[in-house]
Amino acid sequence: MPGRADLSTGEALVELLEAYGVKLIFGIPGVHNVEMYRALPRSGITHILTRHEQGAGFMADGYARVTGRPGVCFTITGPGLLNVLTPLGQAWSDSSPIYVISSALDIADSAQGRGRLHEMQNQRQAAAAITARSITAYTPRDIQDAVAAAFASFAAARPRPAYLELPLDLLKQPAGEGWRPRTLPSRPPPNPDDVAKAASLLAGARQPLLILGGGAVDAGTPARKIAEALGAIVLTTIAGKGVIPASHPLCLGARMAQGPAKKLLRQADVVLAAGTEISETDLWEAAIEIPGKVIRIDLDPENLLRPHPSHIPILADARVTLASLADAMPKIDAERRRSENEESISDYLRREPETDDELRRLLRKVLAAIRTALPKDTVIASDMTQIAYAANEIFDVDVPRSWIHPVGFGTLGFALPAAIGAKAALPDRPVAAMLGDYGFQYTLNELGTAVELKQGLPILLWNNDALGQIRDDMVMKGIQPNAVTLRNPDFQALARAYGCGAEMPRSLDALRAAIANALKAMSPTLIEMRPAMVRD
């Protein structure tokens, strides 16, 4: 290998990423970023070739969500960047650390309107709208500083995406010296006085309530200790599913949008909210009043103040803070409260199916079959589709980082590539995708990527030959349904054309058997589920 001073900046970039711990890069080489690929064959980084930049971004997101480490993408100028903007938006909304590194036009020609290939007026600004930092490098030192800043943010701040663009002429320049990783900061610990105040407030609460979001995904053990000490009910956001096991008797799960959960929010005199915005996409309500005193734990200072004011705002890492809070809790007698809350949750969950409409009754049966067929530690990447909307609330998850859903931005096409990225990160864990017939067609070309990677991936396709949720919304709003039905392809033949297995179970027993077989396969299996599977 040549000395670092003899490397191009494109080659040195790959070495630097490897030094920061990057093991996988998702992307597509093109005429404008081949210099970023020169050093990859001799590095320890595995590159996964995707079928589309959107797939690369969602795979990086899936990788990031299940590992907590940044997922990295390589893309090209212009259309390559624009294709990855939707995944960037999803990662921004859901606090997922992905790093998109793109080529850009030569420094002298950038945005000059000279008709250069892939030219944009302001490529960096396009990415800036949905990233925590968007940087154009002009010198090798700029690259070193930008990469260090991105990884420092991933390590210590709210985990949001970052973007770096490298002009073509810079990629070819001699790298020079200084390509060493820098020591990264840690997330801030809590102020001990704030922890003491929070412990005292919780200990004196009449009706405490815990809300755990995606920012608390690694804080399950101390959160459970606090809940048990207080005998308090625990709600999670969709991003927080599994932080407290759904099987825990104090866990009401990701039911924040349901009336009883909103009633709990209004009745609680002290709410401990960790790693959550408590936003519209958590509540499916634009705003909700929380009259009790709120203890907020978050890495984002703005989240501590909006949309709900904090009585005790704690700018710190959720895991460390909740561990300190668990240790600081005074001994209290909460047995009666715990018993009453456990009984209340048990009663509610037992009666919940009585309120189901016809669609929810059908989906509950399908999801129950899926849950019994999949191992408890299965990672499931889901899409914006009716079966996943139901699963967000009623599909039990006992393991953190094992339910990944495009909550905030709400894009279609997330599930399949996110599942591929998750499986690439965790090859020894079972991983599945759950999606609808319409959203599947946004990124179904990534079946080819999963086949090349020999991933034994069950792809659970809910096919109702419609944009079912939009159709139902139209009916509810008095709009004559239109533009919501479609002519689907033969998904079975399409899957086989890519080299996947394909199944169309005719019963719930057949569905369970198909999932069991798919988990043992050496390639993806499309399992096409239709409503008649339950009704027949």
> Is 399 in the same domain as 327?
no
> Is 331 in the same domain as 387?
no
Last residue of a domain, one of 326, 351, 376: 351
Tokens representing 167?
């002009």
Backbone φ, ψ for residue 473 (5° rounding): -65, -40
| Cβ-contact 152, 184 below 8 angstroms | yes
In a domain, 179, yes or no: no
Task: Give residue 163's Cα distance to chain centre.
Answer: 18
In a domain, 361, yes or no: yes
In a domain, 187, yes or no: no
Kindly give, in sequence order, each residue whose CB lies less than 8 Å from that of residue 41, ignoring residues fewer than 6 positions away: none
The count of structural domains within the chain is 3
Task: Give residue 224's Cα distance to chain centre.
Answer: 22
Last residue of a domain, one of 291, 324, 351: 351
Q: How far apart are CA 111 and CA 105, in angstroms?
A: 8
> Is 219 in the same domain as 326?
yes
Kindly give, in sequence order, each residue whose CB lies less than 8 Å from that of residue 115, ignoring residues fewer than 6 positions away: none
In a domain, 240, yes or no: yes
> Is 311 in the same domain as 432?
no
In a domain, 184, yes or no: no
In a domain, 434, yes or no: yes
> Is 376 in the same domain as 321?
no
In a domain, 186, yes or no: no
Last residue of a domain, one of 327, 351, 375: 351
> Is 375 in the same domain as 325?
no
Angle between helices 318-328 and 220-230 (to 10 degrees): 30
CATH number at residue 123: 3.40.50.970
> Is 110 in the same domain as 20?
yes
> Is 347 in the same domain as 360?
no
Three-state secondary structure call for residue 236: strand
> Is 403 in the same domain as 265?
no
> Is 151 in the same domain as 300?
no
CATH number at residue 285: 3.40.50.1220
**In which element (H, E) is residue 349 found?**
helix 335-351
Three-state secondary structure call for residue 104: strand
Q: How far apart are CA 458 and CA 515, in angstroms?
A: 6
- pLDDT in single tens digits along all 536 residues of the chain: 445 668 999 999 999 999 999 999 999 999 889 999 999 999 999 999 999 999 999 999 999 999 999 999 999 999 999 999 999 999 999 999 999 999 998 877 666 667 776 778 889 999 999 999 999 999 999 999 999 999 999 999 999 999 999 999 999 999 999 999 999 999 999 999 999 999 999 999 999 999 999 999 999 999 999 999 999 999 999 999 999 999 999 999 999 989 898 999 999 999 999 999 888 778 777 677 889 999 999 999 998 988 788 999 999 999 999 999 999 999 999 999 999 999 999 999 999 999 999 999 999 999 999 999 999 999 999 999 999 999 999 999 999 999 999 998 989 999 999 999 999 999 999 999 999 999 999 999 999 999 999 999 999 999 988 778 888 888 888 999 898 888 899 999 999 999 999 999 999 999 999 999 999 999 999 999 999 988 65
Domain extent for 114: 4-172
> Is 217 in the same domain as 82?
no
In a domain, 490, yes or no: yes
Kindly give, in sequence order, each residue whose CB lies less than 8 Å from that of residue 284, ignoring residues fewer than 6 positions away: 257
> Is 254 in the same domain as 144?
no
